[in-house]
Amino acid sequence: VERWAVDVLFSQKAKENVVSTDEIDRMVENYRRSLIQNLYQDRLITQQLLPTITDAEVRGFYDRELALFELSEPYVKGFYVKLPPKAKTRDVRNCFLHREQENLEELERLCTENGYEYQFFMEEWMPFADLAHKTPLTEQQLMERLLRKSVIEFTEEKSTYFICADSILKRNDTKPIEMVSGEIKELLINSKKAKFIKQVKRSLYEEALKAGRVILY
Protein backbone atom coordinates (compact mmCIF):
# COMPACT_ATOMS: atom_id res chain seq x y z
CA VAL A 1 0.00 0.00 0.00
CA GLU A 2 2.85 2.37 0.85
CA ARG A 3 4.59 1.65 -2.46
CA TRP A 4 1.34 2.31 -4.33
CA ALA A 5 0.76 5.60 -2.47
CA VAL A 6 4.33 6.74 -3.16
CA ASP A 7 3.91 5.90 -6.85
CA VAL A 8 0.68 7.93 -7.08
CA LEU A 9 2.19 10.90 -5.23
CA PHE A 10 5.31 10.87 -7.38
CA SER A 11 3.22 10.69 -10.57
CA GLN A 12 1.17 13.68 -9.43
CA LYS A 13 4.32 15.66 -8.64
CA ALA A 14 5.77 14.74 -12.05
CA LYS A 15 2.64 15.99 -13.84
CA GLU A 16 2.86 19.30 -11.92
CA ASN A 17 6.47 19.81 -13.02
CA VAL A 18 6.27 18.53 -16.60
CA VAL A 19 4.11 21.13 -18.28
CA SER A 20 4.54 20.07 -21.93
CA THR A 21 3.34 16.57 -22.69
CA ASP A 22 3.59 16.80 -26.48
CA GLU A 23 6.69 14.61 -26.59
CA ILE A 24 5.05 12.06 -24.29
CA ASP A 25 1.93 12.04 -26.47
CA ARG A 26 4.11 11.41 -29.54
CA MET A 27 5.97 8.58 -27.78
CA VAL A 28 2.69 7.02 -26.63
CA GLU A 29 1.20 7.28 -30.12
CA ASN A 30 4.32 5.76 -31.70
CA TYR A 31 4.26 2.93 -29.19
CA ARG A 32 0.53 2.37 -29.75
CA ARG A 33 1.00 2.26 -33.53
CA SER A 34 3.95 -0.12 -33.19
CA LEU A 35 1.99 -2.37 -30.82
CA ILE A 36 -1.00 -2.54 -33.19
CA GLN A 37 1.27 -3.30 -36.14
CA ASN A 38 3.06 -6.07 -34.25
CA LEU A 39 -0.23 -7.66 -33.18
CA TYR A 40 -1.53 -7.53 -36.75
CA GLN A 41 1.75 -8.91 -38.08
CA ASP A 42 1.57 -11.84 -35.66
CA ARG A 43 -2.02 -12.51 -36.77
CA LEU A 44 -1.02 -12.43 -40.44
CA ILE A 45 1.82 -14.86 -39.81
CA THR A 46 -0.45 -17.24 -37.90
CA GLN A 47 -3.30 -17.10 -40.41
CA GLN A 48 -1.42 -16.89 -43.72
CA LEU A 49 2.25 -17.87 -43.36
CA LEU A 50 2.05 -20.70 -40.84
CA PRO A 51 -0.39 -22.83 -42.92
CA THR A 52 2.03 -22.67 -45.86
CA ILE A 53 4.71 -24.54 -43.90
CA THR A 54 4.27 -28.09 -45.22
CA ASP A 55 5.20 -31.41 -43.64
CA ALA A 56 7.59 -31.92 -46.55
CA GLU A 57 9.42 -28.69 -45.67
CA VAL A 58 9.64 -29.73 -42.03
CA ARG A 59 10.97 -33.17 -42.99
CA GLY A 60 13.46 -31.66 -45.43
CA PHE A 61 14.83 -29.27 -42.83
CA TYR A 62 15.00 -32.08 -40.27
CA ASP A 63 16.93 -34.37 -42.63
CA ARG A 64 19.37 -31.60 -43.61
CA GLU A 65 20.04 -30.35 -40.09
CA LEU A 66 20.12 -33.51 -37.95
CA ALA A 67 23.11 -32.18 -36.05
CA LEU A 68 20.88 -29.45 -34.56
CA PHE A 69 18.65 -32.01 -32.89
CA GLU A 70 21.01 -33.95 -30.66
CA LEU A 71 19.61 -34.73 -27.23
CA SER A 72 21.40 -33.30 -24.21
CA GLU A 73 19.46 -35.61 -21.86
CA PRO A 74 17.54 -38.90 -22.17
CA TYR A 75 13.77 -39.07 -22.74
CA VAL A 76 11.22 -41.82 -22.29
CA LYS A 77 7.67 -42.79 -23.28
CA GLY A 78 5.56 -45.12 -21.16
CA PHE A 79 3.71 -45.04 -17.86
CA TYR A 80 4.35 -45.19 -14.13
CA VAL A 81 2.42 -46.32 -11.05
CA LYS A 82 3.38 -46.10 -7.38
CA LEU A 83 1.51 -48.14 -4.78
CA PRO A 84 1.63 -47.27 -1.09
CA PRO A 85 2.64 -49.85 1.55
CA LYS A 86 0.19 -52.76 1.98
CA ALA A 87 -1.68 -51.94 -1.24
CA LYS A 88 -2.92 -54.93 -3.24
CA THR A 89 -0.64 -55.31 -6.23
CA ARG A 90 -2.28 -58.22 -8.11
CA ASP A 91 -4.92 -56.26 -10.05
CA VAL A 92 -2.46 -53.50 -10.92
CA ARG A 93 0.12 -56.07 -12.01
CA ASN A 94 -2.38 -57.83 -14.28
CA CYS A 95 -3.30 -54.58 -16.02
CA PHE A 96 0.32 -53.55 -16.19
CA LEU A 97 1.55 -56.69 -17.89
CA HIS A 98 -1.21 -56.67 -20.54
CA ARG A 99 -0.99 -53.27 -22.16
CA GLU A 100 -4.07 -53.32 -24.40
CA GLN A 101 -6.27 -50.23 -24.30
CA GLU A 102 -8.89 -51.82 -22.06
CA ASN A 103 -6.20 -52.84 -19.57
CA LEU A 104 -4.80 -49.32 -19.46
CA GLU A 105 -8.27 -47.91 -18.89
CA GLU A 106 -8.78 -50.40 -16.04
CA LEU A 107 -5.37 -49.47 -14.62
CA GLU A 108 -6.29 -45.79 -14.66
CA ARG A 109 -9.62 -46.58 -12.95
CA LEU A 110 -7.85 -48.57 -10.21
CA CYS A 111 -5.34 -45.80 -9.62
CA THR A 112 -8.00 -43.09 -9.52
CA GLU A 113 -10.37 -44.95 -7.22
CA ASN A 114 -7.62 -45.97 -4.79
CA GLY A 115 -5.65 -42.74 -4.87
CA TYR A 116 -2.53 -44.34 -6.32
CA GLU A 117 0.11 -42.08 -7.80
CA TYR A 118 0.34 -42.64 -11.55
CA GLN A 119 1.19 -40.98 -14.85
CA PHE A 120 0.64 -42.08 -18.43
CA PHE A 121 3.02 -40.59 -21.02
CA MET A 122 2.75 -43.00 -23.93
CA GLU A 123 2.05 -40.25 -26.46
CA GLU A 124 4.61 -37.68 -25.35
CA TRP A 125 8.29 -37.73 -24.42
CA MET A 126 9.15 -37.19 -20.76
CA PRO A 127 12.64 -36.20 -19.62
CA PHE A 128 14.10 -39.34 -18.06
CA ALA A 129 15.23 -37.32 -15.05
CA ASP A 130 11.59 -36.44 -14.27
CA LEU A 131 10.68 -40.13 -14.22
CA ALA A 132 13.68 -41.05 -12.06
CA HIS A 133 12.74 -38.32 -9.56
CA LYS A 134 9.47 -40.14 -8.95
CA THR A 135 11.42 -43.14 -7.61
CA PRO A 136 14.12 -43.67 -4.98
CA LEU A 137 16.50 -44.86 -7.73
CA THR A 138 19.14 -42.76 -9.43
CA GLU A 139 18.83 -42.01 -13.14
CA GLN A 140 21.61 -44.47 -13.88
CA GLN A 141 20.08 -47.25 -11.78
CA LEU A 142 16.66 -46.80 -13.38
CA MET A 143 18.12 -46.57 -16.88
CA GLU A 144 20.10 -49.79 -16.41
CA ARG A 145 16.99 -51.65 -15.27
CA LEU A 146 14.79 -50.36 -18.08
CA LEU A 147 17.40 -51.10 -20.74
CA ARG A 148 17.50 -54.70 -19.54
CA LYS A 149 13.70 -54.98 -19.36
CA SER A 150 11.17 -52.41 -20.57
CA VAL A 151 8.57 -53.35 -17.92
CA ILE A 152 9.79 -53.45 -14.32
CA GLU A 153 8.31 -53.83 -10.85
CA PHE A 154 10.26 -53.20 -7.67
CA THR A 155 9.69 -52.33 -4.01
CA GLU A 156 11.74 -49.65 -2.29
CA GLU A 157 11.08 -47.92 1.02
CA LYS A 158 7.88 -50.01 1.41
CA SER A 159 6.32 -48.60 -1.77
CA THR A 160 5.89 -50.67 -4.94
CA TYR A 161 6.71 -49.16 -8.31
CA PHE A 162 5.52 -50.28 -11.74
CA ILE A 163 7.28 -48.65 -14.69
CA CYS A 164 6.89 -49.30 -18.39
CA ALA A 165 9.32 -47.73 -20.88
CA ASP A 166 7.84 -48.24 -24.35
CA SER A 167 10.62 -46.15 -25.91
CA ILE A 168 13.85 -44.65 -24.60
CA LEU A 169 16.02 -41.98 -26.20
CA LYS A 170 19.51 -41.79 -24.74
CA ARG A 171 21.74 -38.75 -24.42
CA ASN A 172 23.28 -37.78 -27.79
CA ASP A 173 20.56 -39.60 -29.72
CA THR A 174 18.79 -37.57 -32.41
CA LYS A 175 15.46 -36.12 -31.35
CA PRO A 176 12.55 -37.70 -33.28
CA ILE A 177 10.85 -35.38 -35.70
CA GLU A 178 7.60 -35.24 -33.70
CA MET A 179 9.55 -33.77 -30.79
CA VAL A 180 10.99 -30.92 -32.84
CA SER A 181 8.40 -30.25 -35.56
CA GLY A 182 7.13 -27.16 -33.71
CA GLU A 183 10.65 -25.85 -33.32
CA ILE A 184 11.36 -26.44 -37.03
CA LYS A 185 8.18 -24.63 -38.07
CA GLU A 186 9.24 -21.66 -35.95
CA LEU A 187 12.66 -21.63 -37.65
CA LEU A 188 11.07 -21.83 -41.09
CA ILE A 189 8.60 -19.07 -40.25
CA ASN A 190 11.39 -16.81 -39.00
CA SER A 191 13.35 -17.40 -42.21
CA LYS A 192 10.31 -16.42 -44.34
CA LYS A 193 8.80 -13.75 -42.10
CA ALA A 194 10.74 -10.70 -43.33
CA LYS A 195 10.05 -11.45 -47.01
CA PHE A 196 6.38 -12.23 -46.27
CA ILE A 197 5.75 -8.97 -44.38
CA LYS A 198 7.60 -7.00 -47.06
CA GLN A 199 5.32 -8.53 -49.71
CA VAL A 200 2.20 -7.74 -47.64
CA LYS A 201 3.26 -4.11 -47.23
CA ARG A 202 4.12 -3.75 -50.92
CA SER A 203 0.79 -5.23 -51.96
CA LEU A 204 -1.04 -2.88 -49.58
CA TYR A 205 0.81 0.11 -51.00
CA GLU A 206 0.13 -0.85 -54.62
CA GLU A 207 -3.57 -1.39 -53.88
CA ALA A 208 -3.76 2.02 -52.20
CA LEU A 209 -2.08 3.66 -55.22
CA LYS A 210 -4.53 1.99 -57.58
CA ALA A 211 -7.52 3.02 -55.47
CA GLY A 212 -6.32 6.61 -55.18
CA ARG A 213 -5.86 6.49 -51.39
CA VAL A 214 -2.17 7.28 -51.89
CA ILE A 215 -1.34 10.07 -54.33
CA LEU A 216 2.22 10.88 -55.42
CA TYR A 217 3.06 14.48 -56.35
User: Following DSSP, what letter does each residue of 100-128 receive, concatenated?
Assistant: SHHHHHHHHHHHHHHT-EEEEEEEEEEEH
- Mind listing the pLDDT tens digit for each residue in 47-76? 999 888 999 999 999 999 999 999 999 999
CA distance 196 to 41: 10
**212 sits in which H/E element:** none
CA distances, 48 to each of 22, 127, 189, 196 (Å): 38, 34, 11, 9
CA distance 110 to 124: 22
Give me the pLDDT at residue 92, please.
87
- Mind listing the pLDDT tens digit for each residue in 3-18? 999 999 998 888 888 7
CA distance 170 to 157: 28
Is residue 129 scored above 90 in pLDDT? yes
- Mind listing the pLDDT tens digit for each residue in 156-190? 888 999 999 999 999 999 999 999 999 999 999 99
| Single pTM value for the model | 0.70
Give me the pLDDT at residue 147, please.
94
Beta bridge partners of 167: 77
